[in-house]
């Protein structure tokens, strides 16, 4: 099957029978829901760009499984150059959507599961790697979108999965059958699950022997029996119901999060990639987290490009673009954004082959990348709000601008630089609001902090991988220390 077009992707999701709930009600037609549709449009962009000749080098790759051209989001990385192209692709998509385009987590799960299943099979003689390769080839052949799900609700963070008062707070195997397993639990904060054809489940933490039922990885269709989703709230989400494109800020694109509940879901044997091999849970978590921390050096940078551009336009429209402090703030925003990109490229360029043959990033540098991402977007957002001014949160609604009585007053008192319409000024201000405070702030701010692990998770990995003993020896050698 050839690469899907964006329209074919939309129709393929429309044909699925997902169970979706929002605001206490079942959503009968998620594809056409005004709150949910912008997130679907963001994923569509990953298909549309793959159809354009000028982007095919970034958006597509040659599959190591089939030899065919596939969307890079379904690709198993074969070189450090593949890792670099991944980051460049993510920046491009962030620039095109100014939102989360949701497929990174599935791509990162693909590559983490690929190498981990190989090493489980090497130790235990299992068939997980072959299972996964068949699944990956199926996804590539049909050009599917896959969600990667790692984060469990966790319950009491001081207790291991098997110690929880409610055993379902970490997703687990509740029944083993000759033809497969039955699982129960949930995965939280699932970005893009709503817009995916398939979902890959992974354990969320390192585990001991007592957690055997929780050390499970598998893939199932998003509309499998027993799966349903509860959509998360986002700041300003109901603005999309008001009929104002201007007030939304980014009317075409967006992201969406969900709690995905697995209410006794059956998984056939050929879709199981780990089942009880607790000592490999930590490996899978570490590799997935590393790949996903690399991803943030691309996607957040692309969105940052849009926010920097919006701040610069706001300065133009406010009539203060030539002020030295405005120029300096825009330089600082650019410096921070490009530093994130440097980290994403660096951990990719230093990538190396795993035992399975696919390539993994330099894990230390990937964690440094994500540690910076937990900070720099917040500063970029602060500077954007500083440049835009207080009007970014006090501007009247589009209805006031268009009102026969109020409109002339809005036009009169919100006029700024000559030749700039008040409507255009409001459009840029609403985009800044969307990225820093509105629905897109979920992906640009809070996800930058907690996505792919909280800041402390990266600091733990940096401490573990920083090789301090080697650095001590370097210092002792230079100082001629004799012990």
Catalytic entry in 145, 191, 278, 374:
191
Which of 355, 249, 267 has its CA nearest to residue 303? 249
3-state secondary structure of 430: helix
Instruction: Count the helix, strand and coil residues of the chain and give each as a percent rounded to the nearest 5.
Output: 55, 15, 30
Active-site choice (291, 296, 317, 444): 296
Residue 12 token pair: 């393929």
Query: In Å, how far are 15, 148, 164, 196, 226 from 263, measured between CA atoms?
Result: 22, 18, 18, 19, 5
Asked whether 315 and 475 are in contact (CB, 8 A), the reply is no
Q: Which of 75, 104, 277, 374 is catalytic?
A: 104
Known catalytic residue at 162:
no
Query: 94 vs 287, 362, 473, CA distance in Å?
Result: 23, 23, 43
Pair 309, 334: CB distance under 8 Å: no
Among this protein's residues, is 100 annotated catalytic?
yes
Is 347 annotated as catalytic?
A: no
Catalytic residue among 77, 129, 189, 292: 292
CA distances from 115 to 79, 122, 170 (A): 14, 11, 24
- Catalytic residue check, 296: yes
Cα–Cα distance for residue pair 91/295, rounded to 1 Å: 9
Please pick, among 198, 277, 433, 447, the residue that the annotation labels catalytic: 447
Beta-carbon-side half-sphere exposure of residue 172 (alpha carbons within 13 Å): 20
**What are the two backbone dihedrals, phi and then psi, of residue 177, each rounded to the nearest 5 degrees?**
-120, 165
The verdict on whether 236 is a catalytic residue reads no
Q: Looking at 47, 100, 189, 374, which residue is catalytic? A: 100
299 is catalytic: yes
Q: Is there a catalytic annotation at residue 74?
A: no
Helix (H) or strand (E) holding 172: strand 172-177
CB-based contacts of 326, cutoff 8 Å, min separation 6: 315, 320, 387
- Both tokens of 433, joined, read 């609001």
Q: Which helix (H) or strand (E) holds 413?
A: helix 407-413
* 104 among known catalytic residues: yes
Find the catalytic residue in 117, 275, 277, 299: 299
Identify the active-site residue in 119, 198, 257, 277.
Answer: 257
Alpha-carbon distance 143 to 297, whole Å? 25
Tokens describing residue 61:
């790759």
Which positions are catalytic? 100, 104, 191, 257, 292, 296, 299, 447
């Amino acid at each position: 099957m050839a690469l899907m077009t964006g329209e074919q992707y939309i129709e393929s999701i429309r044909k699925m029978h997902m169970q979706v709930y929002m605001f206490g009600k079942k959503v009968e037609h998620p594809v056409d829901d005004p709150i949910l549709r912008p997130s679907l449009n963001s994923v569509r962009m990953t298909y549309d760009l793959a159809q354009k000749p000028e982007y095919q080098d970034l958006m597509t790759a040659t599959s190591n499984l089939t030899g065919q051209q596939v969307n890079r989001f379904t690709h198993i990385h074969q070189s450090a150059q593949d890792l670099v192209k991944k980051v460049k692709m993510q920046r491009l998509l962030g620039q095109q959507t100014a939102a989360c385009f949701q497929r990174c987590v599935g791509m990162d799960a693909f590559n983490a599961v690929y190498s981990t299943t190989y090493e489980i099979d090497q130790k235990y003689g299992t068939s997980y790697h072959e299972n996964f390769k068949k699944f990956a080839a199926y996804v590539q052949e049909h050009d599917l979108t896959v969600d990667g799900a790692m984060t469990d609700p966790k319950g009491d963070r001081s207790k291991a999965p098997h110690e929880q008062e409610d055993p379902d707070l970490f997703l687990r195997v509740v029944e083993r059958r000759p033809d497969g397993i039955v699982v129960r639990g949930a995965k939280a904060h699932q970005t893009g699950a709503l817009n995916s054809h398939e979902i890959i489940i992974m354990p969320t933490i390192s585990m001991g022997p007592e957690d055997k039922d929780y050390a499970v990885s598998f893939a199932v269709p998003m509309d499998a029996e027993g799966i349903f989703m509860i959509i998360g709230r986002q700041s300003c989400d109901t603005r999309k119901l008001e009929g104002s494109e201007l007030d939304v800020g980014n009317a075409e694109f967006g992201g969406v999060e969900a709690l995905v509940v697995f209410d006794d879901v059956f998984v056939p044997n050929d879709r199981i990639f780990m089942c009880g091999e607790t000592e490999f849970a930590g490996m899978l978590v570490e590799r997935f987290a590393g790949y996903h921390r690399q991803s943030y050096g691309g996607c957040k940078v692309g969105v940052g490009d849009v926010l920097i551009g919006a701040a610069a336009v706001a300065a133009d429209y406010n009539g203060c673009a030539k002020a030295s402090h405005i120029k300096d703030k825009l330089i600082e925003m650019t410096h921070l954004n490009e530093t994130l990109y440097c980290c994403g490229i660096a951990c990719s360029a230093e990538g190396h082959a795993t035992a399975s043959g696919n390539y993994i990033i330099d894990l230390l540098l990937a964690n440094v990348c994500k540690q910076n991402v937990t900070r720099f977007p917040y500063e970029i957002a602060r500077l954007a709000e500083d440049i835009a001014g207080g009007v970014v949160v006090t501007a009247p609604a589009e209805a006031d601008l268009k009102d026969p009585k109020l409109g002339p007053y809005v036009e009169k008192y919100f006029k700024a630089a000559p030749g700039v319409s008040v409507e255009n000024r409001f459009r840029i201000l609403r985009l800044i609001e969307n990225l820093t405070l509105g629905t897109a702030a979920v992906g640009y701010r809070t996800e930058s902090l907690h996505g792919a692990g909280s800041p402390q998770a990266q600091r733990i990995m940096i401490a573990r991988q920083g090789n301090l003993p080697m650095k001590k020896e370097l210092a002792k050698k230079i100082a001629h220390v004799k012990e």
